[in-house]
Amino acid sequence: MSFLELTEPWGKPSRNIFFPTSNDVQQNAAPVISRTTQPIVTGASVIALKYADGVMIAADNLASYGSLARFFDVERLTKVGNNTIVGIGGDVSDYQHIQRTLEDLEIKENNYGDGYALQPSHIHEYLSRVFYARRNKMDPYWNQAIVAGVDGDEKEPFVAFADLRGNTYTAPAIATGFAIHLALPMLRKVTDDDRWKTLSKERARAAIDDCIRVLYYRDGRSLNKFSVATITAGGVDFQTNQSVSSEWAFAEKQYGYGTQEV
């Protein structure tokens, strides 16, 4: 038995430390740290608007696996506190992690027992800081979020936006995803120039339904099944399994190319 073999059990470094082989180098290499650069399972648009008595927010229930419409019952609206709804589009797994983060925040605030409740502006501020912190770590949440509710003692309607880069803004009507291009102009018609202050609940719901219908027609990642939440000073009215009428009769007289008998 060699001297090297006798001394190794006493704590002397292995021979491979001083004379490594190619296999040893591969085995001892540090694991590669990777970040998500392209979301896989994603949710589409979220839309929200103010009206005279509160706020209305909606999101469909589809989660797409790439371009495949895969999951048809994903809830993308989350109730936080007593008078806030958070709607999130983008990567579904990141959204689930944000859900747990907001649940932890709510539990922590309730444990204080000081009589104060989380307001929509507080939740939006917190969420924007979470997004920005993850961005600075080069590991962002691949999401866009809308925070909707009635804020403060005066129960003022509140709608605000935050995204993966930490960008934030507020407006009477906000959308994410393709709804920014397809639905937001429709929402602005009924909310801009303070028209939302005289907008009834029925007209607000009609605008939401029209937007969902247009998204279903024009956005391949949208679904004709959605959830809508109405937040007023009296609380949150959360409605699921909603749908809008749709009619696919645009090309009923077209049957293809060439001579055909119909």
Catalytic residues, which ones?
36
3-state secondary structure of 81: coil
Q: What is the distance between the alpha carbons of residues 142 and 2, in angstroms, rounded to a whole number?
A: 58
Query: Could you please report the per-residue DSSP string of 127-186?
Result: HHHHHHHHHHTT----EEEEEEEEETTTTEEEEEEEETT--EEE-SEEE-TTHHHHTHHH
Residues in the chain: 262
Half-sphere exposure of 10 (CA within 13 A, CB side): 6
For 165-169, the CB contacts below 8 A with 24+ separation are 165/131, 165/132, 165/135, 165/140, 166/128, 166/129, 166/131, 166/132, 166/135, 168/124, 168/128
Q: What is the distance between the alpha carbons of residues 48 and 55, in angstroms, rounded to a whole number?
A: 7
Q: What is the distance between the alpha carbons of residues 252 and 262, in angstroms, rounded to a whole number?
A: 12
| Residue 39: its H or E element | none
- Helix, strand, coil percent values for the chain (each to nearest 5): 35, 30, 35
